[in-house]
Structure 1
Amino acid sequence: MAKNTFKQPERVAKQKKQRRQIRLASWLNDFIGLDRLFGEDNAWPIRHIDRILWVTFLLIIYIGLNHNAERLVRRIQRTKTQVDELRSQATVLQADYNLSGKQSELSKRVAALGLTDSSLTPPHKLVVKIDEH
């Protein structure tokens, strides 16, 4: 007795044959000769070479992006360190500037020029009479 099977339309069978002919695996097999590398009986890598290459491409992209992220993290850390150093220098300079504006510091600097502070002697009071004016 004969087996019951589904009959495939000729159109579907032709499409499958055409798709297999233009696949990357058959082209690479013809160009490189992958069947000699893996053996003719082991066709799994040859059939799935397009997927293997796609996953390899994705892995290379992933590794590249990971290296880029690590480089950016190191650069950000280095910039943070530089900002902290500049902030501390700005704080020191501002404190020195505020200290140099005090009267005691100014009197020390102008003493070398021969100027003295008038706080040591009391101020003189000028009295002007109205009729002398």
Structure 2
Amino acid sequence: MAQNTFRQPERIVARQKKQKRKNRLTLWINDVIGLDRLFGEDNAWPIRHIDRILWVTLLLIIYIGLNHNAERLVRRIQRSKTQVDELRAQATTLEADFMKSGKQSELSKRVSGLGLTDSLTPPHKIVVNLNEH
């Protein structure tokens, strides 16, 4: 007859498989990079936690890249605001010049070279009766 044994829960078995997979990864990285020579064979802390170290390093690189991107965007926005202010001032100046050039005194100055002068008599109002046409 077979002997009765305790069955391990599935969570523990899955955790052991994951631990074996993690150990294979750390052993492979250790073989490629040679971390045991760098830290010493008795100090296995960096080798055991290399996945977390790499994850934090990746997050730091992403953070630095996003920070540079944000600063570049702020500089570009500031440059655009300066250009918009300059263009607004230029448009205001051009509009004022245009409004000034439409005045009667400015027009009379420009057409005096052609020999035209202003009329001294005011314009006449033409009144049409409804019966006349």
Q: TM-score range by the shorter chain?
A: 0.7 to 0.9
- Compared CA separation, residues 20 and 107, structure 1 to 2 (3 A): closer
Counterpart for residue 21 of structure 2: 19
Deviation at 1:32, TM superposition (A): 1.8
- Compared CA separation, residues 77 and 36, structure 1 to 2 (3 A): same
- 2 CA distance for matches of 1:86 and 1:39? 66
Counterpart for residue 44 of structure 1: 45
Counterpart for residue 111 of structure 1: 112
- 2 CA distance for matches of 1:114 and 1:66? 69
- Compared CA separation, residues 8 and 20, structure 1 to 2 (3 A): farther
- Compared CA separation, residues 124 and 63, structure 1 to 2 (3 A): closer
Q: Which amino acid aligns with 2:104?
A: Q
Instruction: Render the CA deviation track for 1:1-29: whole Å, top value 9, x for unaligned.
Output: xxxxxx894x839636633443x311111
How high is the TM-score relative to the length of structure 1?
0.77
Question: Structure 2 unaligned runs (5+)?
Answer: 1-5, 125-133
- Does the alignment pair 1:91 with 2:92? yes
Aligned length: 116
Percent identity over paired residues: 74
Instruction: Render the CA deviation track for 1:48-87: whole Å, top value 9, x for unaligned.
Output: 0110011000000000000000000000000000000000
Deviation at 1:30, TM superposition (A): 1.4
How high is the TM-score relative to the length of structure 2?
0.77
- 1 CA distance for matches of 2:7 and 2:43? 28
Counterpart for residue 30 of structure 1: 31
Post-superposition, which runs of at least 4 consecutive aligned residues in structure 1 deviate over 4 A?
none
- 1 CA distance for matches of 2:70 and 2:123? 74
Question: Structure 1 unaligned runs (5+)?
Answer: 1-6, 126-133
- Compared CA separation, residues 16 and 8, structure 1 to 2 (3 A): farther
- Does the alignment pair 1:75 with 2:59? no
Counterpart for residue 57 of structure 1: 58
Instruction: Give the root-mean-square deviation of aligned CA atoms.
Output: 2.6
